[in-house]
Amino acid sequence: MSLTEQHISYQHQGRFFTWGDPEKADHLLICLHGYGQLAAYFIRKFHALPENIYVVCPEGPHRFYQAGTAGRVGASWMTKEDRLVDIDNYIAFLDQVYDQQIMKHQFKRKTLLGFSQGGATASRWVGMGNCSFDTFLLWAAVFPPDMAISAQAKFKAQRNVFVIGTEDEYTTLEKAESYHKLLNTADMQFEFVKFEGKHQVDVELLKALLQ
C-alpha cells in the first residue's frame, strides 16, 4: 500500500463585490484584500472615491472562522499547503473577473491595488495571469520572492508603486526602504511612497495616486 496525492478539476464559484456605476466611470480599480478580511467590508474603504472610479473587490477563496468555530469570518488567498494549485485557482478566478468587467464596460484606465497578502496575490496575477493594468499599487505588501524572471517582465509595461505606512506593525520604514531598493534591482522600477499611518489603506493618499 502507498499514499498518493491526486488532484481533480471541477467547476467552482467565487464571489466579488463592486462599488459605483460602471456606466459613469472611466477608471476601473480592482482591489485585493489582505489576510483574514472579507471583500464586502474591505470595499467600504473605497466608498469615498470619485464616481468616475468603479471599484471591484474579489474575495479570497478560503474562508474561515477567525476564532474557534463560530463568530467573525475572514478569507485568505492561499496557505503554504498545496500552494501551487491554489495559485493556479485564484489566477483563473481573477482572470474571469477581469474579463467580465472589460467585456461589459469601457474604461480608459485600469488600476490594480494589492493590500497585504493581496499584494503578493496581485503580483502573481500580473505576472502569470491574462490581465493588463496602467498602474499597480503594491500596498503594505511584499513581492513574491519566487516570481519567475519571465513573469517580472510584464511589470515593465505599467506604472508600479510600493506604498507603506510609517507605523506599519509588520515592518519598519528602514526595512521598507531597503526592500524598495531590492525591488528595483530586479529591473521592475517601483516608485516608493510612504504615508503617516499603520498597516492600512490611506484613502486620501489613494485618491492622489489615482489622479
**What are the cell numbers at 178?**
531597503
Cα separation, 176 vs 179, in Å, equals 5
At residue 164, the pLDDT reads 96
With a cut of 90, say whether residue 191 has pLDDT above it. yes
Asked if the model's pLDDT at residue 150 lies above 80, the reply is: no
Q: Judge whether 114 and 138 are in contact, CB under 8 Å.
A: yes
Q: What is the pLDDT of residues 12-29, one digit of tens each?
A: 999 999 999 999 999 999
CA distance 163 to 140: 6
Residues 6+ apart with CB under 8 A from 198: 165, 167, 168, 169
pLDDT of residue 129: 96
The domains of the chain, with CATH numbers, are: 16-210 (3.40.50.1820)
- For residue 146, the model assigns a pLDDT of 81
- 70-116 tens-digit pLDDT: 999 999 999 999 999 999 999 999 999 999 999 999 999 999 999 99
Closest CA to 138 of 150, 127, 149: 127
Contact by Cβ (8 Å): 137, 110 = no
Average pLDDT of span 182-210: 91
pTM of this structure: 0.95
